[in-house]
Structure 1
């Protein structure tokens, strides 16, 4: 597996925000016949969790189980074994695996960008203000880092020469360093960005969101959103489980509306199913940019994003764009 995919421990460590690990009760129970649904440990997975919670898949996938995946090696093992056929994911992961021979399709997008610059430096107001400044990143050579680097180049900056970049493994590690005053500026995902500001405030330190990377992306690409997270599936489901595909298409819009319309309930669900603290998640939700767009409708947007990643690091996508049949309609 290419190194660009091997480090996705994702938000493992959110327990460090004061929450001991909470495992979904049905994931911890004895295995049941039915579909294993894996959720990426990022905020937009709450839409998939809500879909399951609502019972919308009960008839089409009785006994379905749900758990978070931690690394792409774990996800790939599930797909290769045939055990995992439906999952939420960073949008480049199924494209990479499809280009490496796995029969995967992208069903839809759920999260349209969740990266921000969080800082204690009052002089940082826009991206170019990062020139010459120390900036802490995470998941080096993976999507967050590649997106930041691509935007730096759009802004006329060489990320290796004009910005003092350093890295930790995960966004939550960077959040803790910021909150403790051991770093001044970081690229953070959500909910760690919100968590960092909340933790700092408790210690009498001031951190603020200088800007979202979506805003800078939109300055150059026309839309202030980055197609970063979605739902993918094994192509065999299209023939083997048409009822499930129909249930997904029918249920996802309502699940998305429930998440957006009731942030407190969504936050409780994220805590019980995704190991994320409810107060942090609720405040972070607006910055997750939860949406629901079919992969087919977003094909041009995804291809532009994929091409941007390819130009920075070809291995992130397996060296090429996925074929047209990769993108499904909702």
Structure 2
């Protein structure tokens, strides 16, 4: 059996780590004229957008809107990297930036803690997979009375498994790892199975010939719960200040993202090309392209999938619903300034 290229994998993992740890400034202008990062007099106002290159598919609709010029009269996008999910939480709580692309459970937690965050769109729906090099593994039930490594710490994937397979999950010992640590264990044969997110799933499939996807977690959710094989995992949120000051411009941003997302869904082969070229230093475009074989480019207004969002958050953030509590109605953009 062919041995994986250890040096190449370590390089790829190092780049993924840089995507998490980097804090450099990336500037894009929707109008694509004049000096980068400068909004000329009379042009669209800047939109300070926090993103992470490792969040691949959820970014495609917005960057497709930028590339197509759909935001020329709406916003000039200036993007800066968030480093870790904890870093993003801090930014949200401080109200730093105008918009953010990240995990919806993180947005909801921050909103409960007083952050001025309003969820505009859901753009990330399929992320988690059980992978294994053991041909005897056919599903999650095979891990009863066994340990199942997963990454990263606090992954919503564990909560999803507990929701759809409560008896099985109760018999599994979930073993948390940092992504790079677990990837190296799989490479070295010290771990034969893992519960991982994209784009790490695709990276590992490229490097470990015997590795295969056993279960896509969103498919398992649909089999057990019914409905579409998707979960509202990630999306685009904006600062409440924007919603209050210029709701028409916020709605224009949403409509541009929805339209661009629909265009990319019809042409997924070229979807990776709309991401900023700087992002390829962290996650190669070929990884993005291959991950789309298991993913879906889909942008929905948060208000149109409110029931799915609540169902998902009840699984991964049950504390938000303790004692009969519910989501703040103003958390989802309704098309007019929240009351």
Query: Which band: TM-score by shorter chain?
Result: 0.7 to 0.9
User: What residue in structure 2 maps to residue 211 of structure 1?
Assistant: 215
**What pairs up with 1:80-99 in 2 under 5 angstroms?**
82-99=95-112
| Residue segments in structure 1 that go unaligned for 5+ positions in a row | 1-12
Native 8 Å contact 2:320 2:327 kept in 1: no
1:16 to 14, 25, 29: 14
For residue 118 of structure 1, report the CA deviation from its aligned partner.
Answer: 0.6
Correspondence list, 1:304-319, <5 A: 304-311=311-318, 314=319
Bigger CA radius of gyration: 2
TM-score of the aligned structures, taking structure 1 as reference length: 0.80
Instruction: Give the direction of change, closer, same or farther, for the CA distance of 1:147–1:15 in structure 2 (3 Å limit).
Output: same
Deviation at 1:38, TM superposition (A): 1.3
Q: Does 1:188 align with 2:196?
A: yes
Indicate the residue corresponding to 1:287 in structure 2. Answer: 294
Q: What is the match of residue 168 of structure 2?
A: 157
| Contact 2:120 2:254 survives alignment (8 Å) | no
Query: Contact between 1:37 and 1:65, CA under 8 Å: does it hold in 2?
Result: yes
Cα distance in 2, alignment partners of residues 239 and 46 from structure 1: 26
What is the CA–CA distance in structure 1 between the aligned matches of 2:189 and 2:219, rounded to whole Å?
26
Normalising to structure 2: TM-score of the pair? 0.78
Deviation string for 1:7-48 (max 9, x for gaps)? xxxxxx955369987967527x98656221112431222222
1:262 Cα shift? 3.4
What whole-Å deviation, never above 9, does each CA across 1:261-305 have from its counterpart, x for those lacking one?
Answer: 333432234462433111111000132333112211211111111
1:39 matched residue in structure 2: 51
CA RMSD between the two structures: 3.1
Q: Distance in 2 between matches of 1:107 and 1:114?
A: 20
Give distance in 2, aligned partners of 1:192 and 1:53. Answer: 26
Q: Mark the CA change 1:77 to 1:166 in structure 2 (over 3 Å): closer, same or farther.
A: closer
Higher relative contact order (CA closer than 8 Å, sequence separation 6+): 1
Structure 2, unaligned stretches of length 5 or more?
Answer: 1-10, 29-34, 40-45
Deviation at 1:52, TM superposition (A): 2.4
CA 1:193–1:86 in structure 2 vs 1: closer, same or farther (change >3 Å)? same
The equivalent of 2:32 in structure 1 is none
